[in-house]
Structure 1
Amino acid sequence: MRKIRAKIPYRLDRLPWSRWHILVVIALGITWVLDGLEVTIVGVISSVLTRPQTLNLTEFQASFLGTAYILGAVIGAIVFSYLTDKYGRKKLFMVMLGIYVAGTVLSALSWNFLSIALFRTITGLGIGGEYSAINSAIDELIPARVRGWVDLAINGSWWIGTMVGSALSLYLLNPHEFPIDLGWRLSFAVGAILGVSIMLIRRYVPESPRWLLVHGKVEEAEEVVKQIEMKVQNSKELSEPKKSISITPIGNVGFRLVFKTVFGRYKKRAILGLWLMAGQAFLYNAIFFTYSLILSKFYNVPSDEIGLYIFPFAIGNFTGPLILGRLFDSLGRRKMISLTYIISGSLLAFTGYLFYLGILNAFTQTFAWVIIFFFASAGASSAYLTVSEVFPLEIRAMAIAVFYAIGTGLSSYAPSFFGYLLGSKQPSDLFIGYLIGALLMIFPGILTIFLGVDAERKSLEEVAKPLSEIIESDEKADSK
């Protein structure tokens, strides 16, 4: 195909922040809110589901629901990322949201362990598919100078869903308000309502001009950018960017080329991305999916009061990326990623030791987790930011999916593993689990010092060359 020269990426990057960008953030960032809501609901109701009046699950089965959801998300990310890069970001938005809503509604109708495990897997399929499409679109639409902060803030909005879920649990799981076998079912309705509502907003989000460009749809890409510019410029005249990019559309890309590019040409970035994703995924999956069980088993916190402890925990996680996010664009990715990972891992090890000594109570345990995850949340968000901006545009969605799937898949056993440790009811066993989580955060932090990518305030095309340019360069090298 013919080579295309365009200024579209740089025209998007030089746009002033506007209400249109806020609309994009709300319409697409809701995915993280929904995911946070789903994880919180399952985390809070896990102890309720072990009761004879509900599904009468064992502690291991209740913990496994988190694993089922994660496995569904991994499969969804892989399958739908290919379709996202092939058919576009926008077309997959509604499909993924529809699958999520269906899975959530079905979860509310579960009648035994097998049914709820299956429905949680379906829900995960929708959310996993959303991750690759949403993160790709956000990075491709947000100006480079604020991409780090916006990405972290959006990823941190996961905890808005957590706050909503924990607040609702105080009401819906209160036996004085609803029968015990009804409240947990109603909890799932909130996610379905939010999912349906956001479909109306997403109609106004355009297809990514960058995706259109690399697929040879230049006129359509130009038209979308013009419409965006008209919405954001107001009375100020936008300057014409001096830079341009040269791209040869190469059509659809398969996972074979993705793996060859990511783990061949970008081997160091791949190693870093895997460790960042796996470390934060293990930490969150291990701690959060068993949060209510730890509070109820070790600190005797009633099920209908667990939301009171989750709410401050969620605030710490939300404010971390929000407050620290701007430093990822000013001080830089390398410094901030390493700091947030190393600090959170070190604090987790220290808190685990205090738990082992038995000197914590429900309040001090929660306070410690708030401090730990203030830093861990910013670090975890930066893992998604890293894998979404350091690989070529043509394979962005599939690259995100590969790292999400491998990293999350490797840590999907964490809820079940911690559920097993909880079964012994021995603080010493859980302390071992905390130490493993701490090491899996500290090591990627150290690794970032040496392998980190200084992507702050740079266009995506400057961070990673277009795949077509890489292929042309390799062909020329082979011909010599």
Structure 2
Amino acid sequence: MTATQLTGARAGARLDRLPPSRWHRRLTFTVGIGAFFDLYEIFLGGVLAAVLAERWHLDHTAKSWVIAAGFLGMFVGANVLSVLADRFGRRRMFLVNLGAYSLCSLLCAFAPNAEWLIALRFLAGLGLGAELVLVDTYLAEFLPRAVRGRYIAWAYTFGFLGVPVAAFVGARLVATRELFGVEGWRWLLVAGGLGAAFIQLMRARLPESPRWLAVQGREEEAARIVTDIEERVARETGDTLPSVAVAAEVPQRRVPLGEMFRGDYRRRTVMWWLFQVLQTVGYYGFGSLAPVVLTAKGHTVTASLSYAALSFCGYPIGSALSVPLIDRIERKTLIIAAALGMAGCGLAFGFADAGWLIVSAGFALTVCSNVFSNAFHVYQTEIFPTGLRSSAIGIAYSLSRLTSVILPFVALTVLTDLGPGAVFIGSAVLMVLLCLDVALLGPRSTGRSLERI
């Protein structure tokens, strides 16, 4: 074992054995709150398509592009920025991605027509593409293994608390049409841009991942950061820190990208690529298409946005519900159970006509969605090594964004020709295939160190 590998193994072991503290909770909040912008963008696409269809006389294809443009940008961003995060560091990419999103979201607010809006939403998505990849990777490399799943679930809960608020505010802004002489939908874009800029300031003092530094051969810097964390945790807990057991840990090293397609990692890569394509329809499809589906059922735009906002209350509740479950139930088992719940609730939503049933089914769907989402976000950080973790997750994640680009064109065509029920029947079938994929190909991971998995 080389000195670099020993340092990497020791850095991971030192971080894993720390008791959870206020420092860990502050880190979790600061990083996790950025998850809000991912789902905010998904919600925003459906709102803009529903609102601007009448105001800008958008046809079927134009509405699809309004929704798809952000996802296309996320596809490119997830591929590029996540790979760069393995080369240049997690912290540096954090400072790039939300900064780019903030600027482009503000520019979107001034779009004079659909063409400009679509182009700028692509650029905003480009900046946001690696956000969730970085959230997952960064937290997994800092958090002790005993609380890794629970704290990452809390991170997403913080982020998703803002989603129903944004949905209610969005419905109100759209209903009022103008605020201070500016159209309501433009304020939604301004809010996203300014909010992202504020989170960026909060993240400016984050340390670089010691695990990543050790893999890069920057042993002294990694050791210095870990020592600082240990001192902070010791002060906050007032206890003597547990001893470090290094001998049992598997050392981390630089890993070429091609390693994804060799040995055990090939099976995991295939499993996760299939998963990311399939999960998009169930998870992102509902968030981005719900307002359009409801207007297709004959509800007004304002009523549709209100129903969607009530349904979206399930996102933070489902995320919070996952916290006590995620470290007690094997990750892959929880993913499968939540996916089946999403399939059933989606069918109920697709065939519902009464307002109370639409909201109830939508709420239950979003609860299941975020149990599912939190479980898979933790799971994906555990199945690839530090040297290619961000790249492997990001490339797979980009496939979900590419699927999201295609989804509006397919789903809106099915919606127009066959109705809402057919959209959610197709979604349910794909979620069942996802369950088979994870059950047959996915490794177990709960409670194990990243180095051992």
| TM-score w.r.t. length of structure 2 | 0.92
Map of 1:185 onto structure 2: 186
Q: Select the residue among 233, 240, 245 that pairs with 1:242.
A: 245
Q: Secondary structure at the match of 2:445?
A: coil
What letter matches 2:266 in structure 1? Answer: K
Map of 2:402 onto structure 1: 409
Query: Structure 2 CA distance, aligned partners of 1:459 and 1:59?
Result: 49
What letter matches 1:10 in structure 2? Answer: A
What letter matches 2:318 in structure 1? Answer: G
Q: How does 1:117-156 map to 2 (within 5 A)?
A: 117-156=118-157
Cα offset for 1:177?
A: 5.4
Q: How does 1:9-408 map to 2 (within 5 A)?
A: 9-52=12-55, 55-175=56-176, 178=179, 182-234=183-235, 235-244=238-247, 245=249, 247=251, 249-250=253-254, 257-262=256-261, 264-301=263-300, 303-352=301-350, 355=351, 360-408=353-401
Structure 2: 5+ residue stretches without partners:
none
Query: Structure 1 CA distance, aligned partners of 2:191 and 2:61?
Result: 26
Cα offset for 1:190?
A: 0.9
Residues 285 and 415 of structure 1 are in contact (CA less than 8 Å); yes or no, is this contact kept in structure 2?
no
Q: Secondary structure at the match of 1:4?
A: helix
Q: Secondary structure at the match of 1:39?
A: helix
Residues 415 and 422 of structure 2 are in contact (CA less than 8 Å); yes or no, is this contact kept in structure 1?
no
Deviations 1:126-168 (A, max 9, x none): 1113233332111101111121222233335553332132121
Cα offset for 1:323?
A: 1.0
Relative distance call for 1:379 and 1:249 in structure 2 (3 A) is closer
Relative distance call for 1:109 and 1:168 in structure 2 (3 A) is same
Query: Structure 2 CA distance, aligned partners of 1:320 and 1:64?
Result: 30
Residues 4 and 217 of structure 2 are in contact (CA less than 8 Å); yes or no, is this contact kept in structure 1?
no
Query: Structure 2 CA distance, aligned partners of 1:246 and 1:367?
Result: 47
Query: Structure 2 CA distance, aligned partners of 1:65 and 1:217?
Result: 44
Query: Structure 2 CA distance, aligned partners of 1:180 and 1:387?
Result: 46
Cα offset for 1:209?
A: 0.6
Query: Structure 2 CA distance, aligned partners of 1:243 and 1:388?
Result: 21
Q: 1:442 and 2:432 equivalent?
A: yes
Deviations 1:82-124 (A, max 9, x none): 2111111111111111110111011101112221111111111
% identity of equivalent residues:
25
Aligned residues between the structures: 447
Cα offset for 1:214?
A: 0.7
Query: Structure 1 CA distance, aligned partners of 2:410 and 2:285?
Result: 8
Query: Structure 1 CA distance, aligned partners of 2:263 and 2:57?
Result: 49
Structure 1: 5+ residue stretches without partners:
464-480
What letter matches 1:337 in structure 2? Answer: I
What letter matches 2:296 in structure 1? Answer: K
Query: Structure 2 CA distance, aligned partners of 1:324 and 1:176?
Result: 37
Query: Structure 2 CA distance, aligned partners of 1:14 and 1:388?
Result: 18
Residues 281 and 411 of structure 1 are in contact (CA less than 8 Å); yes or no, is this contact kept in structure 2?
yes
Query: Structure 2 CA distance, aligned partners of 1:411 and 1:37?
Result: 15
Relative distance call for 1:103 and 1:184 in structure 2 (3 A) is same
Residues 277 and 383 of structure 1 are in contact (CA less than 8 Å); yes or no, is this contact kept in structure 2?
no
Query: Structure 2 CA distance, aligned partners of 1:407 and 1:439?
Result: 17
Residues 83 and 390 of structure 2 are in contact (CA less than 8 Å); yes or no, is this contact kept in structure 1?
yes
Worse overlay, 108-117 or 26-35 = 26-35
Query: Structure 1 CA distance, aligned partners of 2:14 and 2:371?
Result: 29
Map of 1:460 onto structure 2: 450
Residues 28 and 134 of structure 1 are in contact (CA less than 8 Å); yes or no, is this contact kept in structure 2?
yes
Relative distance call for 1:417 and 1:11 in structure 2 (3 A) is same
Query: Structure 2 CA distance, aligned partners of 1:97 and 1:125?
Result: 10
Map of 1:467 onto structure 2: none
What letter matches 2:342 in structure 1? Answer: S
Relative distance call for 1:137 and 1:66 in structure 2 (3 A) is same
What letter matches 2:217 in structure 1? Answer: G
Deviations 1:332-356 (A, max 9, x none): 113212211123223433554xx1x
Cα offset for 1:418?
A: 1.9
Residues 50 and 56 of structure 1 are in contact (CA less than 8 Å); yes or no, is this contact kept in structure 2?
yes
Q: Secondary structure at the match of 2:82?
A: helix
Cα offset for 1:310?
A: 2.4
Cα offset for 1:259?
A: 3.9
Cα offset for 1:180?
A: 9.0
What letter matches 1:25 in structure 2? Answer: T
Residues 340 and 432 of structure 2 are in contact (CA less than 8 Å); yes or no, is this contact kept in structure 1?
yes
Query: Structure 1 CA distance, aligned partners of 2:104 and 2:279?
Result: 25
Deviations 1:409-440 (A, max 9, x none): 2343112222223334xxx4332221111111
Q: Secondary structure at the match of 2:175?
A: coil
Relative distance call for 1:312 and 1:16 in structure 2 (3 A) is farther
Q: Secondary structure at the match of 1:309?
A: helix
Residues 97 and 130 of structure 1 are in contact (CA less than 8 Å); yes or no, is this contact kept in structure 2?
yes
Residues 313 and 369 of structure 1 are in contact (CA less than 8 Å); yes or no, is this contact kept in structure 2?
yes
Residues 69 and 124 of structure 1 are in contact (CA less than 8 Å); yes or no, is this contact kept in structure 2?
yes
RMSD across aligned C-alpha pairs, in angstroms? Answer: 2.3
Cα offset for 1:269?
A: 1.7
Query: Structure 2 CA distance, aligned partners of 1:158 and 1:433?
Result: 28
Cα offset for 1:32?
A: 1.1
What letter matches 1:155 in structure 2? Answer: Y
Worse overlay, 218-227 or 385-394 = 385-394
Relative distance call for 1:3 and 1:9 in structure 2 (3 A) is closer
Relative distance call for 1:422 and 1:26 in structure 2 (3 A) is same
Query: Structure 2 CA distance, aligned partners of 1:16 and 1:306?
Result: 46
